[in-house]
Amino acid sequence: VQLQASGGGSVQAGGSLTLSCVVSGFHLAWYAIGWHRQAPGKERERVSCISESNMTYYGGFVKGRFTIFRDNAKSTVYLQMNNLQPEDTATYYCGAPESGNCYTQSGAEFDPDYWGKGTLVTVSS
């Protein structure tokens, strides 16, 4: 199982980026995929998740700025990020739990079982 994230870069505040996560070694349509980020000195947090049934979830800090979507035929999940702010600066990772859901039955976020290498997003003011 492999996940490869790409699409990071440097933008000014208010700019946009679209991240891509290409998966291989499993059938994407059966699994949830999450985007996570980690800023220097901070804990990793989940940004967004899309379930196998295309239910989408976002962290409260997203505030309508990001959109997650998937193209199963291309084995790719995207994260479109608009109106980026300096606080969005982080390394972004995609991860896949061995589940089609983004949450466990108890309501906890599923921790990914598989991770891709990160892609750095830098937003300057």
Report mean pLDDT in 10-residue bins for the chain, 125 residues. Answer: 96 98 95 97 97 96 97 97 98 95 93 95 97
Helix (H, G, I), strand (E, B) or coil at 28: helix
Q: How confident is the model at residue 29, as a pLDDT? A: 94
Q: How confident is the model at residue 99, as a pLDDT? A: 92
Q: Which of 119, 60, 117, 124 is nearest to 87 (CA)?
A: 124
- How far, CA to CA in Å, does 35 sit from each of 97, 125? 11, 24
Q: How confident is the model at residue 115, as a pLDDT? A: 95
Q: How confident is the model at residue 57, as a pLDDT? A: 97
Q: Which of 20, 32, 29 is nearest to 78 (CA)?
A: 20
What is the Cα–Cα distance from 81 to 79, expressed in whole angstroms? 6
